[in-house]
Amino acid sequence: MLKSALAAAVMIGGILAVPAAANAAGYTPEGVCGSGFAVVNKAPVGSLGTVYLLYNRRNGLNCAVTMKSKLQGLSTRTTVELQVSRPAGNGTAPYVEKDSDSGRFKYYAGPVKLQGKGMCVKFFGSMANGYSKSTVSHGGSKAWSNCG
């Protein structure tokens, strides 16, 4: 009898946990960027979400993703951009490498990844509020930061 009650409690607990994960769609910045990435910086994108900068120490990759905290499940304009400042070397001038992802997304834009070991980065995100005359919220790093 005790085993049946425990099994029922575990089943109910599992069932109750599913809707909570479904509300947040189960997405995390680390999960979107992949194994080995950890958040090193973040910025609000108005009141609609957050743009995250992640770094993987093993391979030197930076990753950026804009995650919605409002309007999840609704396809709205969402953008993420990552920039890396490349130094001069081997006869090349310094330059900025960029990668971005933009479109109508339900949960997040990205991930975008660039090699950045020993370099400075900028990261940006934007989201529309979903209405025909939508307000766009922006967030991120306007200055070169997270160097190293």
Q: Given pLDDT bands bounded at 50, 70 and 90, which one contains residue 4?
A: very low
Q: Is 126 a member of any domain?
A: yes
Residues of the domain holding 9: 2-140
Question: What is the model's pLDDT at position 72?
Answer: 93
CB proximity list for 80: less than 8 A, separation 6 or greater: 51, 64, 65, 66, 100, 101, 102, 108, 109, 110, 111, 112, 123, 124, 125
Q: How far is Cα 15 from Cα 8, in angstroms, rounded to an integer?
A: 10
Residue 107 to residue 70: CA distance in whole angstroms: 9
Q: Is 145 part of any domain?
A: no
In this predicted structure, what is the pLDDT of residue 31? 96
**Is 76 a residue whose pLDDT tops 80?**
yes
Average pLDDT over residues 75-93: 87
DSSP 3-state percent helix, strand, coil across the chain (nearest 5): 20, 50, 35
Q: How many domains does the chain have?
A: 1
Complete DSSP assignment for 96-141: EEEEEEEEEESSEEEEEEEE-TT--EEEEEEEE-SSTT--EEEEE-
Give the pair of three-digit tokens for residue 34: 């992949």
**Quick one: pLDDT at residue 148?**
73
CATH code at position 131: 2.60.40
Does pLDDT of 10 surpass 90? Answer: no
Determine the pLDDT at residue 63: 98
**pLDDT score for 86:** 82
- Per-residue exposure over 16-35, b if at least 16 CB sit within 10 Å of its own CB, e if not: eeeeeeeeeeeeebbebbee
Using the predicted structure, report yes or no on whether residue 136 has a pLDDT greater than 80: no
What is the reported pTM? 0.78
For 19-73, write each residue's pLDDT tens digit. Answer: 333 335 679 999 999 999 999 999 999 999 999 999 999 999 999 999 999 999 9
Beta-bridge mates of residue 108 = 67
Span 97-134, pLDDT tens digits: 999 999 999 999 999 999 988 899 999 999 988 765 55
